[in-house]
Amino acid sequence: MHASTTAIDRLDWAGIAERLDQDGHALLPGLLDPEAARDLARRTAATRAAPAFGKPGHGEWFHFGMPLPAPWAEWRVTFYPHLAIIANRWNALLGNDDRYPADLDALLQRDRRAGQDWPQSYLSRLRAGEHVPLHQRGEGEHVFPLQVVALLSEAGRDFQGGEFVMTEQRPRMQSRPMVLPLRLGDAAVIATAARPSKGSGGHYRVYLKHAISRVHQGERLGAELSFHGAPPPRSSTPI
């Protein structure tokens, strides 16, 4: 069955916050059961497709648009207040006085006033030889620092390769690579573009990007759920 909003509320949010503080990501194993994940992928892919970044080799992205289809819309509303608590604590640690509102509608209204009404949530379909390059969702004046990703096909059966990869750049240090071991139906909360990290002199900002490595065989389906809107793209191709 699909993950209910009650199940999301009952997640170990203290543990999720701790893992996000340490690594910039927190796995949510089995958020969807396998059949629900496959069904969700089929239904979501009924929306229109657009080539990622407008370049060959980056697969197809099925942009959700607004309003988001079920259950993504409900998940977005349910995840947000839990993540807003973490996001506001991160801002405080970094000495940023800005605070995110307690409910999603207020965040989206603020985005619209700033011209950030371009929806960013999407499902990706990658076939053999395709990948998603390193990127981050840091566009616009107001960037919500957390997002949710999910895997809707089975590694080793539906596809080979296609690992979810993150990199973290700390000042005066080499980038730190991380591979998230997502399985069919798993989700993860990840840092959108930056997070605080504690050093000897206090907290400082580190920057993150994420990607999907090259698929070697089969077809990989996954999704990204973003909470803030972006400024409209300069071209007609969604990215």
CATH number of 102's domain: 2.60.120.620
| pLDDT confidence tier of residue 44, bands split at 50, 70 and 90 | confident
**Assigned domain for 239 exists:** no
pLDDT tens figures, 188-202: 999 999 999 998 889
**Assigned domain for 23 exists:** yes
Cα 87 to Cα 234: distance, rounded to the nearest angstrom: 29
Number of domains composing the chain? 1
For the cut 60, the answer to whether the pLDDT of residue 180 exceeds it is yes
**Assigned domain for 230 exists:** no
Would you state the pLDDT for residue 232?
84
For the cut 90, the answer to whether the pLDDT of residue 211 exceeds it is yes
**Assigned domain for 233 exists:** no
Cα 44 to Cα 78: distance, rounded to the nearest angstrom: 19
**Assigned domain for 72 exists:** yes
Q: Evaluate whether 96 touches 102 at the Cβ level (below 8 Å).
A: no
Cα 196 to Cα 114: distance, rounded to the nearest angstrom: 25
| pLDDT confidence tier of residue 90, bands split at 50, 70 and 90 | very high
For the cut 50, the answer to whether the pLDDT of residue 236 exceeds it is no
Cα 174 to Cα 230: distance, rounded to the nearest angstrom: 29
**Assigned domain for 174 exists:** yes
Q: Which residues contact 19 (CB under 8 A, 6 or more apart)?
A: 25, 26, 27
Is the pLDDT higher at 66 or at 175?
175
The answer to whether the predicted template modeling score (pTM) of the entire model surpasses 0.75 is yes
* Adjacent-strand bridge partners of 147: 190
Whole-number average pLDDT of the chain: 89
Backbone phi and psi for residue 88, each to the nearest 5 degrees, phi listed first: -70, -35
Full residue range of the structural domain in which residue 64 is found: 5-225
**Assigned domain for 18 exists:** yes
Would you state the pLDDT for residue 1?
45
Is the pLDDT higher at 137 or at 144?
144
Would you state the pLDDT for residue 47?
58
Query: Per-residue pLDDT averaged across 111-121, rounded?
Result: 89
For the cut 50, the answer to whether the pLDDT of residue 233 exceeds it is yes
Q: Which segment of 46-50, 88-92, 103-107, 225-229 scores lowest on mean pLDDT?
A: 46-50
Query: Per-residue pLDDT averaged across 23-36, rounded?
Result: 94
**Assigned domain for 237 exists:** no
